[in-house]
Structure 1
Amino acid sequence: MENKGNFLAAILLAGLILFGWQYAMGYFYPAAPEEIAGTKADDLEQSGVTESTGSAAQPEVIRPVGQALAESQRVLIDAPRVRGSINLTGARIDDLMLKDHRETLDKDSPPIRLLSPAGTSTQHFAQFGWKGEGVETPKSDTVWSANDTTLTPETPVTLSWANSTGQQFLITYSIDKDYMITAEQSFVNNGENNAAVQPLGLINRTNANADNDEWTIHSGPIGVFEDAANFDNDYDDVAEAGRKGVSFANNVGWAGFTDIYWLSALIPADKADNNGVKANFRAFGEEIFQSEIVYDKTIVGAGKTHTTTSKLFAGGKETNVLEAYENAGIPLFSRAIDWGWFRWFAQPMFHLLDWLFKYIGNFGLAIIAMVFIIRGLMFPIAQKQFKSMAQMRAIQPKMKKIQERYKDDKQKQQQEIMALYKKEKANPLAGCLPIFLQIPIFFALYKVLRLAIEMRHEPFIGWIKDLSAPDPLTPINLFGLIPFDPPALLAIGILPIIVGITMWLQFKLNPAPIDPVQQQVFSIMPWILMFVMAPFAAGLQLYWAVSNLLTIAQQKWLYSRHPQLKEQMAKEAEEKAREKQRKAAEAEAKG
């Protein structure tokens, strides 16, 4: 088998493995969520906690966020990385902006708004409350009292409300230096009889502005159930389940909604097994979705107090922050980033990039440095590959004779070729190893550049202002001089063009396949990949271009170490030239 043919086969096989794996796993091992035992889908609505503007359907008139914020009394939130407010009507956390992340590259761009009030186009809020039996519980229109005006890491805020019989409900909110809000829910039974209560928490959002759920990157409902991260359900699945919902019982680690870069999640109280917590994802209409955690019913005696502590994460999916929370006890919290099948490789790659960035100060230069590190580690393998290529090239004349001798007996031809490989100690598959090693590296880097919020809006040099976005310059519109945006298919940036050229040069340095079909395939492959790479992140294009340049340099050096390969290539080139001249002379004679 020709070395180049192995390359092509390796690419196709790896593509099937990489891109078909997730589909296959979803087909053969579909999710089988459990029903919440003893909790009907309508119970939460009947409790009143989930009765909110836009729960069942979006209001006919969408209010601006500013108007919605001005319609109620609020407790301000002012923390190092977030700012916003808590709505005293319903005790909702429905106003939160991320100070360190902006909407666009413009330095004056507003910060990312993660949470918004109900009835706005970006509706997304969290709420904590209770279900009750024989006790009046607070509703979504309940107006709470606050003991302070601003929630900061140094000053927790307690909201309180008492029902008509004097039983008191308290929610103490505290916030840390990152994105975690803790809600301590207390029920004080000042009545004369026992009362049954169930603390709960919910996240309600519209998916109208949600990121698209892609087959390589999950966006939508997410959580950890039964000690496993669950990416199996998207918004369509929940919409199909409707108000009954998709439910999980026992050992709920956390539950919420994810976008590519952002996460809102409820984390139940820290228990050994969380057997008393149930989770549910439900749909209200076509665009409103809700994630819920519900605790077991607790009987609270007269004069007694019952307290439950839950947490709300609302922020950016920064790897180091998520891993810190995971180390603090939140199960598999770093899995909120959908690293996929190659997470064992993607996560270390991210940490290497992040470490290089801290020393270099530029993610583009960090990517280049990582290319040198990876190519250096793979250099011994590259040497073996070239040795194998030299062996294969040396036996090409013998292989050609076998092919001509047994051209009408393919089975015999294959047997003789295999015998030749054994005799000459040549391995036609040895050249595939570097390709197979490069594929997980490439795919892992794709995931890192696509998912890592740390790469978002990070510049390189010159026209590359965002390494997580495609190369913006294209010769189609004279690099922006002509004021029009070309179709995506034709919007080929400078970096993809460099990728195509360097890959073409790389193929030119390699021995050409004997098979004319393979020659044609490899002659057009660089230009096809140029188009394929155009929509990818500029950081990935940069990695591939630099890797190709280093490969060319390695090939030049290794050819100098294996002169027999170069000599053989020169002989074959001469033979091809003579064959071409002969055919031209025959054609001229016939003409």
Structure 2
Amino acid sequence: MNDNRNMLLAIVLSAFVLIGWSLLSDKFFPTPPPQTHKVENGKVQPTPAPVTEAGSPKGGPEPLRPRELVLGETPRLKIETPQLTGSINLKGARFDDLDLVTQRETIKKDSPPVRLLSPARAKDSYFAQFGWSGQGVAVPDANSLWTASAPTLVPGQPVTLSWSNPTGQRFELILSVDDGYMFTVKQRVVNGGSNAVGLRTYGLASRSAKSPDPSTWTNHVGPMSFLADKADYSVDWDTLDENKAGVTRDSRGGWLGFTDKYWLTALIPADGAPVEASFRKSESGAYQADFAGSQFVAAPGQAVTSEARLFAGAKEKKFLDRYENEGITKLSKSIDWGWFEWFMRPIFNLLTWLFSVLGNFGLAIISLTFIVRLILFPIADKQFKSMAGMRKVQPKMKALQERYKDDKPKLQQEMLKLYQEEKINPAAGCLPILLQIPIFYALYKVLMVSVEMRHQPFYLWIKDLSAPDPLTPVNLFGLLPFTPPGFLAIGVLPILLGITMWIQFKLNPQQMDPVQQQIFSFMPWILMFVMAPFAAGLQLYWVVSNLLTIAQQTWLYKRYDMHLSDTHPVKT
């Protein structure tokens, strides 16, 4: 088998599977990450945060109003944690005001924190609520005014919200929060009346608009759940738009909610408790995830307590893993790792460890590249040893070709016998590249879906490794006052990628087939355009990998005393 033909097949397959062609539909290929910075007048400038539609409820009774005005209309319980800030609306006991203090909207230093939850009747309304339903008994609703036992909810200091009805039932929400993104809600009802009451607990999350993040086949965004021991990515916005009845699942425990690219709001019933979980679209146009527990009866003088939790925050792997260890089943499935999760997690763990040591994700990516090349070096060494062996047996191969030129099956049989006698593996050339494909894909997914890589800078003009390289010669590196369209915005890293790949191909034995040689001459520049819209971190990995391959090939040629003129493959 021809080594370069295998290399060509591997590269084409890699490009097709991993990054796709920009000319194909987003339905089948991933959407490149948005640019977070650009170059103007030779200086790197942050781009403004994306503006989303207001998402006002269709047919709602009131028009949208400024968020701060809505927040000031009702009494509130403040939230202050190392990761979160905001408040809980005491009218309705709603989690409807939450900012992620460690995450910023843009890379600008004074950028505001990412806003996750907002109150009803404000722009991009998004909230969660826990309560009870029942017949023949007054239960708290969205207009009920709760009393808080303390003014602020902080880690380690639970706060009790209480509300009583006229017939003697007292309802309590005992709230606590940790140092991450997890709220615990104990729903307690004390029946001080003279009659037994039948109740069901519920939890809901409602958002007025779809996520501004695109949902692709490589990264699910929208309704998300882990119910009945299964992660479900099949329900999306279109499902709820088309199905007025919604989607309902029965489960014991699990969780459900809405996932953005980096953020998650998940309702988590008590582990093992039977629940009826649903996704639906309301008449107002809002999207809702909810669950309802089994009916229970509170006898006179009896207190009944159940527990649920709410995750609201960034999908940071360290927190997701911690919560799984605390008993929340498969919360890490909210990160759409895909089929190769078993391989991506170690790559991610290695990257984050390298980052903790080096303090820069770009240096971590470069170090990962060195580690990969070091691990694959024995295979590359065998490859060149095989190439040297192929060179030595070329006279015998030519003799076999002349002898059996009219008997192709016999020629293949004798060639295979020769390979076995000389201990040569003609397929060794494609193995190093094939082994790099899963590593390349794992890094691609890490850059695309992990919030830990979001807004991570490198050096010089690279201010965000998860965004494309903004420095392009098309506008003279930002000196000309225009931003080129995406397909022409070829950054410095993609150009270096094309150049290094061209050098790498030049170091390989030339093709005897002129058509294949032409393809090889075009491939570096095609991949330069294909890779340009993708994350700078991915481009950095590929450039460094190419440089190491060039150095490795040069050294191995000398080690085995090989010259390019001596390594022309024999046509079979």
- With normalisation by structure 1, the TM-score equals 0.86
Match of 1:177 in 2: 179
Summarize deviations over 1:477-503 as a string: whole Å, max 9, x none: 111111111110011110111111111
What is the alpha-carbon root mean square deviation over aligned residues?
2.6
Q: Is 1:121 matched up with 2:123?
A: yes
AA aligned to 1:9 is L
Q: Tell me the CA shift for residue 417 of structure 1.
A: 4.6
User: Secondary structure of 1:563's partner?
Assistant: coil
Alpha carbons 1:239, 1:285 under 8 Å: kept: no
The whole-number CA distance in structure 2 between the counterparts of 1:406 and 1:342 is 45
Instruction: Please report how far the alpha carbon of residue 14 of structure 1 lies from its aligned counterpart in structure 2 after TM superposition.
Output: 5.5
Cα contact 1:172–1:183 (8 A) shared by 2: yes
The structure whose residues are more often helix, as a share, is 1
Q: Which residue number in structure 1 is paired with residue 469 of structure 2? A: 471
Residue of structure 1 aligned with 2:299, choices 293, 298, 301: 301
Q: Which digits, 9 at most, give the CA deviation of each residue in 1:524-553, with x for residues without a partner?
A: 111111111111111111111001101111
The aligned residue for residue 226 of structure 1 is 228
1:461 matched residue in structure 2: 459
Q: In the alignment, is the contact (CA less than 8 A) between 2:210 and 2:237 conserved in 1? A: no
Hey, what does 2:357 align to over in structure 1?
359
* Cα distance, 1:255–1:301 mapped onto 2, change above 3 Å: same
Whole-angstrom CA distance in 1 between matches of 2:327 and 2:301: 33
Q: Per-residue deviation at 1:119?
A: 2.2
Residue 208 of structure 2 is aligned to residue 210 of structure 1? no
Q: 1:384 aligns with which of 372, 382, 385?
A: 382
Match of 1:43 in 2: none
- Write the distance in 2 (CA, Å) between the matches of 1:65 and 1:352: 42
Task: Give the equivalent residue in structure 1 for 2:532.
Answer: 534
Distance 1:553 1:523 in 2: 20
Write the distance in 2 (CA, Å) between the matches of 1:19 and 1:253.
33
Match of residue 165 from structure 1: 167
| Paired amino acid for 2:10 | A
Counterpart residue identity of residue 528, structure 2: M
The equivalent of 2:494 in structure 1 is 496
Q: Which residue of 2 aligns with 1:37?
A: none
How far off its partner does 1:512 sit? 1.4
Distance 1:397 1:526 in 2: 33
Look up the SS of the partner of 1:507 in the other structure. helix
Task: Give the partner amino acid of 1:210.
Answer: P
Higher-RCO chain (CA-CA 8 Å, sequence separation at least 6): 2
Q: Is structure 2 residue 450 aligned with structure 1 residue 452?
A: yes
Report the 3-state secondary structure (helix = DSSP H, G, I; strand = E; otherwise coil) of the residue aligned with 1:549.
helix
The CA deviation at 1:567 is: 5.6
413-422 or 116-125: which moved more?
Answer: 413-422
Deviations 1:290-344 (A, max 9, x none): 1112110011111111111111110111111111111111111222211111111
Asked if 1:259 is matched to 2:269, the reply is: no
Q: Is the 8 A contact 2:19 2:531 kept in 1?
A: no
**Aligned equivalents of 1:8, 1:300: Cα separation in 2:** 71
Shift of 1:111: 0.4
**TM-fit CA distance, 1:8:** 2.2
Report what 2:327 is aligned to. 329
The whole-number CA distance in structure 2 between the counterparts of 1:459 and 1:153 is 31
The aligned counterpart of 1:74 is 76
Amino acid at match of 1:170: E
Distance in 2 (alpha carbons) for counterparts of 1:410 and 1:237:
56
Question: What is the one-letter code of the residue matched to 1:155?
Answer: Q
Aligned residue identity for 1:328:
E
Matched residues in 2 for 1:401 and 1:141: separation?
Answer: 92
Match of 1:109 in 2: 111
Whole-Å Cα distance in 1 between the matches of residues 221 and 81 of structure 2? 27
TM-score, normalised to structure 2, is 0.88
Report the alpha carbon displacement of residue 141 of structure 1 after superposing the two structures with TM.
1.9
- Please state whether the residue corresponding to 1:368 is helix, strand or coil: helix
Per-residue CA shift, 1:207-256, capped at 9, x if unaligned? Answer: 344311111111111121222322222111222222x2212212231111
Change (3 A) 1:398 1:118: farther
Give, in angstroms, the shift of residue 153 of structure 1.
Answer: 1.6
Give the Cα separation in 1 of the matches to 2:401 and 2:121.
74
Task: Report the CA distance between 1:442 and its aligned residue.
Answer: 0.1
- 2: CA distance, partners of 1:207 / 1:553: 52
Q: Flag the 1:285–1:442 CA change in 2: closer, same or farther, 3 A.
A: farther
Distance 2:83 2:352 in 1: 20
Report the CA distance between 1:566 and its aligned residue: 4.3
| DSSP 3-state at the match of 1:340 | coil
For 1:349, the equivalent position in structure 2 comes to 347
State the alpha-carbon separation in 2 of the partners of residues 300 and 93 from structure 1: 27
Code of the residue aligned with 2:9 in structure 1: it is: A
Is contact 1:322–1:334 with CA below 8 Å preserved after alignment? yes
Kept in 2: contact 1:201–1:266 (CA 8 A)? yes
CA distance in 2 between partners of 1:467 and 1:138 (Å): 48
**What does the per-residue CA deviation read over 1:233-282, in whole Å, with 9 as the maximum and x for residues that have no partner?**
2111222222x221221223111111111011011113xx33x1221111
Query: Equivalent residue for 1:546?
Result: 544
C-alpha contact 2:56 2:124 (8 A) present in aligned 1: no
Cα distance, 1:422 vs structure 2: 4.2
Tell me the distance in 1 between the aligned counterparts of 2:331 and 2:358: 29
Paired residue secondary structure (2:556): helix
Deviation at 1:397, TM superposition (A): 5.9
The match for 2:6 is 6
Deviation at 1:15, TM superposition (A): 6.2
Which stretch shifts more, 281-290 or 425-434?
Answer: 281-290
Q: Is the 8 A contact 2:57 2:285 kept in 1?
A: no
Decide whether the 8 Å contact of 1:56 with 1:284 is kept in 2. Answer: no
Letter in 2 for 1:231: Y
Residues paired across the two proteins, number? 538
* 2-structure distance, mates of 1:131, 1:195: 11
Task: Look up the equivalent residue of 1:269 and give its one-letter code.
Answer: A
Q: Distance in 2 between matches of 1:409 and 1:418?
A: 14
Question: What's the offset of the Cα at 1:109?
Answer: 0.5
Equivalent position amino acid for 1:7 in 2: M
Q: C-alpha distance in 1, partners of 2:400/2:5?
A: 18
TM-superposed CA distance for 1:59, in Å, is 6.2
Distance of aligned partners of 1:403 and 1:518 in 2 relative to their CA distance in 1, 3 Å threshold: farther
Partner Cα distance (1:249, 1:19) in 2:
38
Question: 1:187 corresponds to which letter in structure 2?
Answer: V
SS at match of 2:517: helix
Structure 1: unaligned runs, 5 residues or longer: 21-26, 28-52, 576-591
Contact 1:93-1:125 at 8 Å conserved across structures = yes
- Which letter does structure 2 place at the counterpart of 1:523? S
Alpha-carbon shift at residue 133 of structure 1 (Å): 2.2
> In structure 2, do the counterparts of structure 1 residues 416 and 517 end up closer, same or farther at CA, with 3 Å as the change threshold?
farther
Whole-angstrom CA distance in 1 between matches of 2:5 and 2:61:
60
> Are 1:200 and 2:202 counterparts?
yes
Worse-superposed segment, 86-95 or 204-213: 204-213
The answer to whether the 8 A contact 2:210-2:222 is kept is no
The amino acid across from 2:179 in the alignment is: K
- Deviation per residue, 1:372-402 (Å, 9 max, x gap): 1111111111101112223334455665676
Please report how far the alpha carbon of residue 152 of structure 1 lies from its aligned counterpart in structure 2 after TM superposition: 1.4
Distance 1:57 1:433, change over 3 A: farther
Task: Identify the residue that residue 284 of structure 1 maps to in structure 2.
Answer: 282
Judge conservation of contact 1:199–1:294 (CA < 8 Å) in 2: yes
Unmatched 5+ residue regions in structure 2?
21-27, 29-54
Q: 1:17 to 1:333 in 2, by over 3 A?
A: same
Specify whether residues 55 and 548 from structure 1 end up closer, same or farther in structure 2 by C-alpha distance, changes over 3 A only.
Answer: same
